[in-house]
């Protein structure tokens, strides 16, 4: 399956637009990762543990997007966008949210 951020695929023709397809991945934070991220916030620098969570989350969201598109009968997803955010649970924590959205299509 082709999954791309572009709205056209060079050398391919869209036969049928099947509709918008979405995928969401939510990860909980943990105390140890939050502790080290807090230290990085104070002294500066990148927070590798959170970067890894977002990297994996983006991969998981794209994999889920592909599976949902296949269930719709698609063989490609075009116009893909990935977004990240947080969901505040309470005053002591948040969840990390990664979403992917695109248009499921059937190529000729």
Q: Using one digit for the tens of pLDDT, what is the confidence trace for 67-107?
A: 999 999 999 999 999 999 888 777 667 788 999 999 999 99
Give the pTM: 0.79
Q: Mean pLDDT throughout 40-60? A: 73
What's the angle, vertex CA 51, arms to CA 49 and CA 37, rounded to 5?
Answer: 50
Domains delineated in the chain: 2-107 (3.30.110.70)
Please tell me whether residue 79 adopts helix, strand or coil conformation: strand
Q: What is the mean pLDDT of the chain?
A: 85
User: Binning pLDDT at 50, 70 and 90, where does residue 27 land?
Assistant: confident
Contact between residue 14 and residue 77 where contact means Cβ atoms under 8 Å apart: no
Which distant-in-sequence residues (6+ apart) come within 8 Å of 52 by Cβ? Answer: none
């Amino acid at each position: 399956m082709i999954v791309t951020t572009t709205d056209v695929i060079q050398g391919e023709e869209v036969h049928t637009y099947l509709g918008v397809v979405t995928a969401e991945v939510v990860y909980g934070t943990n105390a140890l990762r939050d502790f080290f991220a807090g230290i990085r916030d104070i002294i500066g620098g990148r927070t590798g543990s959170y970067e890894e969570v977002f990297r994996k989350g983006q991969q998981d969201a794209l994999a889920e997007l592909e599976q949902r598109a296949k269930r719709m009968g698609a063989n490609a997803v075009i116009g893909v966008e990935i977004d990240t955010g947080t969901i505040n649970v309470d005053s002591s924590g948040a969840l990390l949210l990664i979403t992917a959205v695109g248009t499921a299509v059937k190529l000729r």
